[in-house]
Copies of this chain bind each other. A is one copy, B any other.
Amino acid sequence: MKCDKCNREAVIFQKYSSAHLCKDHFIEDVERKIKRDIRKYRMVEKGDTIAIALSGGKDSSALLYILHKLFNNRQDIHLVAISIDEGIHGYRDKTLKRARALTEKLEVPHVIKSFEDAFGDSLDDLLTGGKACSVCGVLRKNLLNKTARENCATKLGLGHNLDDETQTILMNYLRADIDRMMRMIPNNRQTGLVPRIKPLRSIPEKEIALYTYLHDSPLDVDRCPYAPDALRNDVRSLLNDYETAHPGTKYALLKGFEKIIESLKQTHTITPVKKCTECGEPSGRSNICKTCQLLKKPSN
């Protein structure tokens, strides 16, 4: 098949837009959407230091790559990559190597923090059984935020793609948690939390994979040995089935959620995040943050 915009060979057929695109027009399309979202939600502002949460996987690598491409020549914008080493043996060591190779190639400062240094144990050791994803998620979020702040970051860039975002939206609908929904508003500011930005939120996971591949970056085929959340898996496959039957569903879900959030903003106020009475870090709705709760008594 030929590209709809020129005569070259197409590398992708976007079912949701019915477009065939060649390599160059596909890359242009991905980057156009990312630039549009960055502008629309004011993700990047003059004077920003953007910390990029870099796992070394395809999403965070693509994020670092494109933010470097867009802002490398700007004197008033700084980038720093932050990687968290959870200590997952045989998995994280490999992706950290890829992360390190990319930051060296792009000459972006790179900070690596380990669970072991921060919490005294690796994830493998912290787990006394079960719930790896939720333990890991809590500790990683805590350490990412703290490290971003220590590096004077004014934004924390996350590699969440369209699939991740729509899965989270659907899970929030299921939980019916209005507060949590409202915290998904781009550029939501809370004391102690470096504002998170998600420049890839409009790019389907498959397109991020292709984008990374076309930039000669090796695709990560490794998977975290801890099984992912079973319910997120159900939501993922439901959304993928729905998208196959009705192309454009994920975009519709994202747009519908934005309309709902616009309404909620006019009638609700976001509950401010509390400060942990133990460590002083942001702690959501409870007085003691989840990290302190987890480290005090082993999860079971």
Contact residues of A with B, CB < 8 Å? 170, 173-178, 230-231, 234-235, 238-239, 241-242, 245, 249, 252-257, 259-260, 262-264, 266-268
Shortest CB-to-CB span from A268 to chain B, Å, is 7
Structural contact, B242 and A231, CB atoms closer than 8 A:
yes
Query: In the docked arrangement, what's the CA distance between A176 and B173, Å?
Result: 12
Q: B residues within 8 A CB of A173?
A: 170, 173, 253, 256
Q: A262 — nearest CB in chain B belongs to which residue?
A: B267
Q: List 28 A-B contacts (CB under 8 A).
A: A170-B173, A170-B174, A173-B173, A173-B253, A174-B252, A174-B253, A175-B249, A176-B253, A176-B254, A176-B255, A176-B256, A176-B257, A176-B259, A177-B256, A178-B259, A178-B260, A230-B245, A231-B242, A234-B241, A234-B242, A235-B238, A238-B238, A260-B260, A260-B263, A262-B267, A263-B263, A263-B266, A263-B267
A174 proximity list for chain B (CB < 8 A): 170, 239, 242, 249, 252-253
Given contacts A170-B170, A176-B252, 7 further A-B pairs with CB under 8 A are A173-B173, A174-B239, A174-B249, A231-B245, A234-B241, A260-B263, A262-B267
Q: Known contacts A231-B241, A234-B238, A245-B231: does B268 contact A263 (CB below 8 Å)?
A: yes
CB distance from A133 to the nearest CB of B (A): 14
Q: How many copies does the complex hold?
A: 2
8 A-B pairs with least C-beta separation: A176-B256, A263-B263, A176-B252, A263-B267, A263-B264, A173-B173, A238-B238, A234-B238
Q: Which residue of B lies closest to A253 (CB)?
A: B176
| List of B residues within 8 angstroms of A239 by Cβ | 174
Distance of A62 from chain B, by nearest CB (Å)? 26
